[in-house]
Amino acid sequence: MKMAVRKFFVFAALATAFAAPQIAVGQTGSLTMSGYAYPTALRFNVTGHNNVGAGGFNASFNRTGPTPAASFVAYCIDLSQTFSWNSSFTVTETWPISLFGGFRTGALDRLYTQHFAEATTPVLSAAFQLAVWEIVSETSAATYGALDLDTGSFRATSGNSTARTTADNWLHALGAGPTNGYVLTALVSGSRQDQMMATPVPEPETYMMLLAGLGLMGFVARRRQKGIAA
């Protein structure tokens, strides 16, 4: 019975630690977008684009190397290109800071940490996408106060007012909230729309469980070796 309990905690620690998609920056793979996640998109007119759908995508990323495939909710970081549903295209995993610089990467980090987990309805998912577009598109923004859907080089001029107001409220409060909840990876294509993948950062307790589980596995292995030697 004790051995069964020990094995349960070992496997729980390992499963928790490795449940999130793994990261392999610089690696290429095949990305497939299968539909909107929650469960549809709201339509907006934004700078340079009319009647665009805003919302998270169900995405699947199959890497060409040994790193496991990942299924996740993706958000668009590229309004200049498009893609087709259920049609795979090649992308490369890239650190966002190489695309957006320090301030905007930090703003994306804060946005994901504070609001990614709650964006699970069409309105909130649309608000999250608008906030992402605002951050990546306002190239001259250097303060959180400059991130506003009504001003600057990127604007959302029409569409669901609740989503737009929510996105602005999130953006204006980013500097006062937590950070470092996710590792963000840009999935970049030369001919199709770029997407953002978020990998949760495990809590410190998870690392402790993992270390304890690995230590227990080593202890059990040593006990078994002694028993065999005897």
Q: What is the pLDDT of residue 227?
A: 53
How confident is the model over 173-183, as a mean pLDDT? 96
Mean confidence (pLDDT) of the chain: 85
The first and second tokens of residue 36, run together, are: 């909107």
Share of the chain above pLDDT 90, in %: 71
pLDDT band at 21 (very low <50, low <70, confident <90, very high): low
Q: What is the pLDDT of residue 157?
A: 94
Reduced to 3 states, what is the DSSP secondary structure of residue 101?
Answer: helix
Q: What is the CA radius of gyration of the chain?
A: 21
Query: In sequence order, which residues have a C-beta less than 8 Å from that of residue 120 and are 6 or more positions away?
Result: 38
Indicate if the pLDDT at residue 154 is higher than 90.
yes
Contact 162, 149 (CB under 8 A): no
How confident is the model over 101-117, as a mean pLDDT? 97
Indicate if the pLDDT at residue 149 is higher than 80.
yes
How confident is the model over 120-135, as a mean pLDDT? 98
Indicate if the pLDDT at residue 216 is higher than 90.
no
Tally: H helices and E strands in the chain:
5, 9
With the CA atoms of 192, 133, 200 and 204 taken in that order, what torsion angle do they form, in degrees rounded to the nearest 10? Answer: 150
Amino acid at 12: A
Is the pLDDT higher at 130 or at 223? 130
pTM assigned to the model: 0.81
Q: What is the pLDDT of residue 165?
A: 98
**Closest among 208, 198, 180 to 16, alpha carbons compared:** 208
Contact 112, 124 (CB under 8 A): no
Q: What is the pLDDT of residue 223?
A: 54
Q: How far is CA 67 from CA 18, 51, 155, 182, 198, in A?
A: 12, 37, 38, 19, 16
Q: Which sign, positive or negative, has the C-alpha torsion 89, 92, 96, 101?
A: negative
Q: What is the pLDDT of residue 25?
A: 87
